[in-house]
Amino acid sequence: MQFHLGTEQRPLRRLNPPQNGKHHELRFLLPGNRMLKVTPQVRRRFVLGRQGLWPGRRWRGLAGLEQAFETVRAVQVDPLAVIGHSHDLVLESRVEGYRPEHLETLLYRRRAVFEYGGTLFLYPRDTLRLHWSWVHHAGVSDNMQRWEAENPTVMKAVREKIRRSGPLSSSAFLDGTKVDHYRSSRLEGVALHHLWRWMEIMVHHRESNLKYYDLTSRIFGRLPTPYGLEETHERMALERTAWLGWLGKYEAPYLRTGPEGRGSQRAERIALVDRLARKGLLAPVEVEGERGVSYVRTEDLPVLETLSAGNLPPSWKPLSEESEAVLLAPLEVVSSRNRSRSLFGFEYVWEVYKPAHLRRWGYYVLPVLLGDRLVGRIEPQYASATKELRVAKAWWELGVDLDEVAEPLARALARVQQRMGARRIVLGRVGPPAFKTRLSRVLPK
């Protein structure tokens, strides 16, 4: 059933209020007892489109990269690079002509993006006040606070050295106190990390993987007054919903309700969603053939309605109509965190940190997105000595027409080849002989 929702906030009617103080599944209806119901395909396209992955790239170059961050809201960072870092693959899949140096420009010259978190993410600058508010209210973990209580002198000394000397890295403390700590081998390096987590300092720039820190006030100016506690929780929930796109049973645990990051208590998360729904900021939706109710930001309902009608939101128009496969990054939000199963019916686990004998697929295997489907997975490798981009193996889903895969996959591999500066692409066990032959013919020579 379709409906139009204006910009005004409308009250939602709760169907099952708490009984005896217990929380039950929350269901809300819009006026007129209407709730938007969508197909699994519409949900999938909505989540992909919110992240700029469907129906194709719609941003280009440095300016497009900044626009992409305004839309996708967060990109997880990982130091491992096989055919590029995970965050570079995420951005390359969304931005035509993306180059890692574009990201450096946004991070360290324009300051339009910043890096932060125990699990490291890249965020658009407009979320700086929100993250500062979270730190102001929630602080850092108990373990970190105990460490700081035991090491107040070094915290003060490192803070003052940065204040006097400007941007510093942990290499400035090579003569410091040696410690056995996973963050740094020097006591002062651990203090740097703690000051960063408190947002007293931020990353000024990097030299290779070495981070240089400076006072936050010198990089971004004085931090604004934090939001109140309740507003911080609500804004963070809406921000995470914007990043996830869809708030269902697999996504709800990623709402923050406590200082450790992810909310650990179901009742607190339900109460938070309840409050946002009552305020008209989250809206309920149902998926055909599935039990339960999910939520999206109310402002996204018109987009869902457009997709349900079989139309494309005008702002989602791709730069090119040419079909292209996308090699999804290991930490891609649409397919990691068990979402490949819920959205695509596709099993994907990044096995790079698993012991070799426990891996089902391989060390570094990436899902292949074609349109709005995950059609298979490939194991790419890069041989720096010979400058060869290799596809060691590929696994294709049952029922996939490989005739539709060859040319889009070739274009995807060509992009990686160009970015890596590879001389050629070498194919291993990628499928039936006829498919391998066809893929070889359409690959760049």
CB 122 within 8 A of CB 113: yes
Mean pLDDT computed over 2-24 = 34
Encoded amino acid at 343, one letter: L
**Dihedral angle sign, alpha carbons of residues 283, 240, 306, 298:** positive
Token pair belonging to 19: 């009984």
**Other C-beta atoms lying within 10 Å of the C-beta of residue 227:** 19
Q: Distance (Å, rounded) from C-alpha 77 to C-alpha 107?
A: 13
Torsion of CA 287, 288, 293, 297, to 10 degrees: 30
The pLDDT tens digits for 111-165 are 999 999 989 999 999 999 999 999 999 888 889 999 999 999 999 999 999 999 9
* pLDDT of 363 strictly over 80: yes
User: What contacts 341, CB < 8 A, 6 or more positions away?
Assistant: 347, 348
- Rounded to whole angstroms, the Cα distance separating 367 from 349 reads 10
pLDDT of residue 299: 97
pLDDT band at 323 (very low <50, low <70, confident <90, very high): confident
Tell me which of 51-60, 168-177, 231-240 is least confident.
168-177
Alpha carbon 32 to its chain's center? 36
**Contact partners, residue 441, CB within 8 Å, separation at least 6:** none
**Cα dihedral 366, 371, 376, 382 sign:** negative
CA 38, CA 343: separation in Å to the nearest integer? 13
Task: Provide, rounded to the nearest whole percent, the portion of the chain with pLDDT above 90.
Answer: 80
pLDDT bin (cut points 50, 70, 90) of residue 10 is: very low
- pLDDT band for position 312 (50/70/90)? very high
Helix 406-420, helix 433-442: angle, nearest 10: 50
- How far apart, in Å, are the Cα atoms of 21 and each of 18, 152, 249, 271, 273? 6, 44, 22, 12, 17
Q: Residue 33 has what DSSP assignment?
A: T
Q: Express the helix, strand and coil content of the chain in percent, nearest 5 each.
A: 40, 20, 40
CATH node for 136-220: 1.10.10
* Confidence (pTM): 0.90
Three-state SS annotation for 266-334: HHHHHHHHHHHHHCCCEEEEEECCCCCCEEEEHHHHHHHHHHHCCCCCHHHCCCCCCCCEEECCCCCCC
Domain boundaries, the chain: 13-49+245-316, 136-220, 325-442
Q: What single DSSP character describes residue 400?
A: -
Q: Indicate the burial class of 300 (C-beta count within 10 angstroms; 0-12, 13-18, 19 or more).
A: buried
Residue type, 415: R
Residue 298 Ramachandran class (φ > 0 left, ψ -120 to 50 alpha, else beta): alpha
In this prediction, residues 347-364 reach a mean pLDDT of: 93
How is 97-138 classified by DSSP, letter by letter? T--HHHHHHHHHTS--EEEETTTTEEEEGGGHHHHHHHHHHH
What letter does residue 145 receive in the DSSP assignment? H
Chosen CATH of 325-442 out of 3.40.630, 3.40.50, 1.10.3470, 3.40.5:
3.40.630
What type of residue is 259?
P
Residue 28, pLDDT score? 43
